[in-house]
Chain A
Amino acid sequence: MNKTMLLLKTQIYNYFSLNELFHSEMKKRNFVFITAAGIFTLLAFLSGYNVMTALALAKLGQAHLIPAYMVSVSSFIILVFTVLRSNGILFGSRDYEMLSSLPVQAKEIISSKFGFLYLLNFLMGILFILPAGIVWQIYDSHHLIFFFMYLLSAVFVPFVPMCMASLIGVLITAVTSKFRRKNIFSLIFSFAILGGLLGIGIYSMQTGSSGENLGFILMEQVSSLYPLSTWFYYTDSISLVGNVGFWFLSVLAFFIFVKIVERRYARMNSYVLQCHAASVGGKTSLKKHSVFSAMYLKEIGRYFSSYLWVLNTGLGVVLLCVVSLALCVISPEMLGKYTEIEDVDLFLGQFAPLIIAAMLSISCPAASAISLEGKNLWILQSVPLSNKIFLKSKIALTLTIHSIGYMLSVAVFLIRFQFNAIQALTLLVVPVCYSIFTAVQGTYINCRFPKFDWDNEMVVVKQSISVILSGVIGMICIAVPALLHWFLDVSLIKVLWGMAAILIVLSVILYFKACSKKII
């Protein structure tokens, strides 16, 4: 086994805690299998969604567009997801110093870390490419060689978006490393780039709307989202040359990326891992706080000191703030015209509480806050601190982050749109109930499934059992009222009030259950 593969294997064992999984007691293993079943269900839903999209294209008579469409969308999603995580996996990992003391070359370390990111993205890509590919083969059957070439391309699809996203990550690191508050600048840059990418995505999918026929419009949209996808229109045998060209280009992109990063890898890591030792307040700044305030301030400080934690759990609140600020300059009439909604006031009067609640639900720092205590847990375990205050500080952190998005969005919605009293009250109350539930359920689930033994925050913030379960529960709580409204034709306002009442009751129950679990 060469060194790259050896490093990759170790990383996989470490990241997914495989040794723990196979050698731990039955109860723990059962929890892991339950989570695996949860992830599998989510993946099945995603595959199902892609099959439905492919079927829709086929029914519109555009089955030939399926390969290009899937390559385009999966590449875009890989690009966005890799921007969110590249700086946690490629750079700044705690094992960097240990690895650099071993007789391995920088390119072997980069390749193994890139290989790990690749594996995660390959699995993501295959969920788009394989199920939709089967639909394509059924509805637009040509030679089997086309299908085979398309499937083989799934191996190469992640390379280009991953290289682009990783270079964006390198750029962010390089630019912000000069600043003393590099985390804050990294976050601003990352959110701006993510916003830019999403903007490009939305813009691309609207281009060509004045075109001649549907096939042409769709083709234009797909290729403007990801120009390389034009090599996936299988019209004749020459198309295969384009396919092979795509493979070469993907591998070339990877080699160029490794060559660029290899030269500066040590410096990039020291940028990420360095900390500025300059003085931040002396003993004159000593102030006395209550026990809860001390814990709360510590939590807030911890949150904003972690680039990965904010980037991955603050996205919903940031989106909410950006949308709210955008609504300050876009008039309701313009919004109605742009979104093709006839009565914007009526629509938002119903859906605004759910939209705000959804944004808050996807921002749940509480689901990883306990695990992130990690090796520092001994501090809280050995001081006279009650479990209740410990948990309250975790809940308060999430509520504080939510309050920023909530206050801004509710104020903007109430000022810019015409709501009646019931709609306004729903807008005020329902998101608060969702926010409380998100904070409490995240804390409770993290109490049940804490993971203190980690080397990289990314393991906790993105891949831990508690974060996945909490995310699934959040999505279900948003989906239930929407589905009840759409399928059973129940008034959305009534459903939301009913849901809010249930969530508050559940929050109280889960809070007391969490308090009974001994963490510290």
Chain B
Amino acid sequence: MLKIEHLTKIYPNGKRAVNDLSLTIQAGDIYGFIGANGAGKTSTIKAAVGIHEFDQGEIYINGKSIRKDPLQCKKELAYIPDNPDLYEHLTGYQYINFIADIYEVGLSDRKKQIEKYGELFEMNSSLGNVIASYSHGMKQRTAIISALIHKPKLLILDEPFVGLDPQGAWHLKQTMQELVQSGGAIFFSTHVLDVAEKLCNKIAIIKRGELITSGNIETVKGDHSLESVFMEVQSHE
């Protein structure tokens, strides 16, 4: 579903944010991406969704290159950033409708999706209000609903649980499970190691732009907790 091959991203100031990183996310995977602040998680994710250009390597979405065929790749994925800055002048409905227009989602489909996820994330009563009046959590929920509007096969999320209340976080986890059960895949970064441990079947740990370890969560952590593995990785120079 998502294949990252030897990805290297160097910023104009010369900083090597990601160095020769390779990962494969298959259908049915909930793939957690873990690392300290500034480790290169967001840079990798932004390259994978086509926001950032990269210097070396290749990224494939369902076999298509994000560099050569960005529009086809983006049609199959959805991205939710850690801090969703949405169009504040629009109402929730208008924003989701706008995203649905861009993905060319049919009218009846978009209505069904909005109804389903609006109710699940308890946003139906607020979607008629302008986004400028929303709290951070409400913006996050609106971004999630709009990301699911076109039934993406691949969902890429950057710190999706930040700002969500326990109920919202629970519903998001259920939605993630549902998506992978229907043949989709999820790649997300997180600092919440407990969530990663319980939710993911695969995990990757990145440190200073380099992939330290990746694979099935049981293989990566062995008999230890994910937290102790992560702390050990961080303490090694």
Interface residues of A (CB under 8 A from B): 25, 275-283, 285-291, 293-295, 297-298, 301-302, 305-306, 374-376, 378-379, 381-386, 518
**Contact B133–A277 (Cβ < 8 Å):** yes
Between-chain CB contacts (< 8 Å), 17 pairs: A25-B13, A276-B130, A279-B128, A279-B129, A280-B130, A281-B94, A283-B93, A287-B97, A291-B101, A294-B102, A301-B89, A306-B89, A376-B85, A376-B86, A379-B86, A381-B49, A381-B51
**Contact A283–B111 (Cβ < 8 Å):** yes
Q: How many residues of B sit at the interface, in one of the four size bands?
A: 35 or more
**Contact A382–B50 (Cβ < 8 Å):** yes
CA distance A378 to B104 in the complex (A): 19
Knowing A275-B133, A280-B128, A294-B102, the reply to whether A288 touches B86 (Cβ < 8 A) is no
CA distance A278 to B128 in the complex (A): 8
Which B-chain residue is minimally distant from A294 (CB atoms)? B101
Which A-chain residue is minimally distant from B80 (CB atoms)? A382
Knowing A277-B130, A283-B127, the reply to whether A383 touches B110 (Cβ < 8 A) is no
CA distance A512 to B227 in the complex (A): 52
B51: which A residues are within 8 A, CB to CB?
378, 381-382
B63: which A residues are within 8 A, CB to CB?
none
Which A-chain residue is minimally distant from B13 (CB atoms)? A25
Map CB proximity to A onto B7-26 as digits: 1 under 8 Å, 0 otherwise: 00000110000000000000
Most chain B beta-carbon contacts within 10 A, residue among A288, A297, A382: A382
Most chain B beta-carbon contacts within 10 A, residue among A298, A384, A385: A384
Residues of chain B from 82 to 118 with CB closer than 8 A to chain A in the complex = 85-91, 93-94, 97-104, 106-107, 110-111, 114-115, 118
B229 within 8 A of A: no
B6 within 8 A of A: no
**A275 vs chain B, min Cβ distance (A):** 4
B75 within 8 A of A: yes
Task: Kindly list the 3 A-B residue pairs having the minimum CB-CB distance in the complex, ordered from nearest.
Answer: A294-B101, A305-B89, A277-B133
Residue in contact with B75 in the complex, picked from A294, A295, A384, CB distance below 8 Å: A384
Knowing A286-B110, A382-B50, A384-B74, the reply to whether A298 touches B98 (Cβ < 8 A) is yes
**B109 vs chain A, min Cβ distance (A):** 10
Knowing A302-B87, A375-B85, the reply to whether A288 touches B101 (Cβ < 8 A) is yes
**B94 vs chain A, min Cβ distance (A):** 7
A379: which B residues are within 8 A, CB to CB?
86-87, 99
CA distance A249 to B196 in the complex (A): 67
Residue in contact with A282 in the complex, picked from B99, B128, B133, CB distance below 8 Å: B128
Which A-chain residue is minimally distant from B49 (CB atoms)? A382
**Contact A280–B91 (Cβ < 8 Å):** yes
B210 within 8 A of A: no
B129: which A residues are within 8 A, CB to CB?
277-280
Knowing A275-B130, A283-B114, the reply to whether A291 touches B89 (Cβ < 8 A) is no
B94: which A residues are within 8 A, CB to CB?
280-281, 301
B193 within 8 A of A: no
**B15 vs chain A, min Cβ distance (A):** 13
B79: which A residues are within 8 A, CB to CB?
378, 382
B71 within 8 A of A: yes
**Contact B98–A288 (Cβ < 8 Å):** no
**B19 vs chain A, min Cβ distance (A):** 21
CA distance A384 to B101 in the complex (A): 11
**Contact A384–B102 (Cβ < 8 Å):** yes
Residue in contact with B106 in the complex, picked from A277, A288, A302, CB distance below 8 Å: A288
Q: Given contacts A282-B128, A301-B89, A375-B85, list 10 more A-B pairs with CB under 8 A.
A: A277-B129, A278-B129, A279-B91, A280-B91, A280-B129, A291-B101, A381-B49, A382-B49, A384-B70, A385-B71
Which B-chain residue is minimally distant from A293 (CB atoms)? B101
**Contact A282–B93 (Cβ < 8 Å):** yes
**Contact A290–B86 (Cβ < 8 Å):** no
CA distance A287 to B97 in the complex (A): 7
Which A-chain residue is minimally distant from B127 (CB atoms)? A283
CA distance A287 to B111 in the complex (A): 10
B81 within 8 A of A: yes
Which A-chain residue is minimally distant from B125 (CB atoms)? A279
**Contact A281–B102 (Cβ < 8 Å):** no
**Contact A281–B50 (Cβ < 8 Å):** no
B115: which A residues are within 8 A, CB to CB?
283
Residue in contact with A385 in the complex, picked from B88, B102, B118, CB distance below 8 Å: B102
A382: which B residues are within 8 A, CB to CB?
49-51, 74, 78-79
CA distance A290 to B99 in the complex (A): 11
B93: which A residues are within 8 A, CB to CB?
281-283, 285-286
**B57 vs chain A, min Cβ distance (A):** 18
B122: which A residues are within 8 A, CB to CB?
none
CA distance A25 to B79 in the complex (A): 31
